[in-house]
Amino acid sequence: MSEPLLRRWRTDREIRLRAQLGVFRRGSGDPTSRWGADGSFTRAAQTPAGAGTLHLWCCPDEAVVEARAWGSGAEWLLESVPALLGDDDDVSGFVGHHALVAEAWRRFPHWRVPRSGLVFDAFAPAVIEQKVTGQEAFAGYRALVRRFGTVAPGPFGDDSAGRGLFAPPTARGWATIPSWAWLQASVDGQRSRTLVRAAGHAGRLEEGATVSVAEAHRRLRALPGVGVWTAAEVAQRALGDPDSPSFGDYHVAKDIGWALTGTPVDDDGLAELLEPYAGHRYRVQHLLGLAGHHRPRRAPRMAPRRHLPTRIR
């Protein structure tokens, strides 16, 4: 096994890895990432230079992040560390117009919108998560990545117990998954077709990390089967966009409405509530989530659906 590449990144801002990088975990069994008992975070990804594994550990007392990376994508991943930890995020002009938003900002002043720079890496699981429960989506993504992904370079991919990390498939890899394998993973034809078609435009999508956020949204929304919700999921993770809230989500509008008004709202109501935060609407969404402001869940969890709606998200 080759030695890892190393980087120490120092910042004047407190870094809390769980708050900063939790959005990249696709369920507790996500085979592409792992939390360590020491608070470290490890993630495998497909980069423009190939598969790589990134291991991050933070020394809060020194405001230093230690990064190690393996694989052909190692150098690319190390270069991406500051942006991944939110160093490109501009919080100027952000004001908490609601008491709960201001309180959440006081509690999490260190949090910044991450930017992975990997568009298809965020796009594939978002499509799989369209219109189904999180439990079903995470299970499907887990099955497909373990079956068609790449064993993560470095020590985290070598696990005799079957819990080693995997980098997800490349765009070409997603496109070559046979139809029966999608169905075995409970991913219906509409979602698999969306992902396979998009793989043919992966180059244009990845360029979204180098063009304006508006242009990146346009390219995503031009794809059949991709709506505002899917584009927002990508923008939040890959593009570091603080202004792409999750319209169309089953929970988000209800949760934010309940938190800010005491009553769940729909997407129109959410747009009205977030209007004063133009430029920072996703920031509000995530800060409220970090602070634990979710409406009470009194009903049992929704069971996986067998007959899926056709509305584009």
Per-residue H/E/C for the chain = CCCCEEEEEECCCCCCHHHHHHHHCCCCCCCCEEECCCCCEEEEEEECCEEEEEEEEEEHHHCEEEEEEEECCHHHHHHCHHHHCCCCCCCCCCCCCCHHHHHHHHHCCCCCCCCCCCHHHHHHHHHHCCCCCHHHHHHHHHHHHHHHCEECCCHHHCCCCCCCCEECCCHHHHHCCCHHHHHHCCCCHHHHHHHHHHHCCHHHHHHHHCCCHHHHHHHHHCCCCCCHHHHHHHHHHHHCCCCCCCCCCCCHHHHHHHHHHCCCCCHHHHHHHHHHHCCCHHHHHHHHHHCCCCCCCCCCCCCCCCCCCCCCC
pLDDT at residue number 311 = 46
The alpha carbon of residue 260 and the mean position of all alpha carbons in its chain are separated, in whole angstroms, by 25
pLDDT < 50 stretches in the chain: 302, 307-311
Q: Which two tokens stand for residue 83?
A: 């942006």
pLDDT at residue number 2 = 80
pLDDT at residue number 299 = 52
Distance CA 223, CA 210 (A): 19
How confident is the model over 196-249, as pLDDT tens digits? 999 999 999 999 999 999 999 999 999 999 999 999 999 999 999 999 999 999
pLDDT at residue number 62 = 75
pLDDT at residue number 102 = 98
φ, ψ (nearest 5 deg) of residue 261: -125, -15
pLDDT at residue number 310 = 42
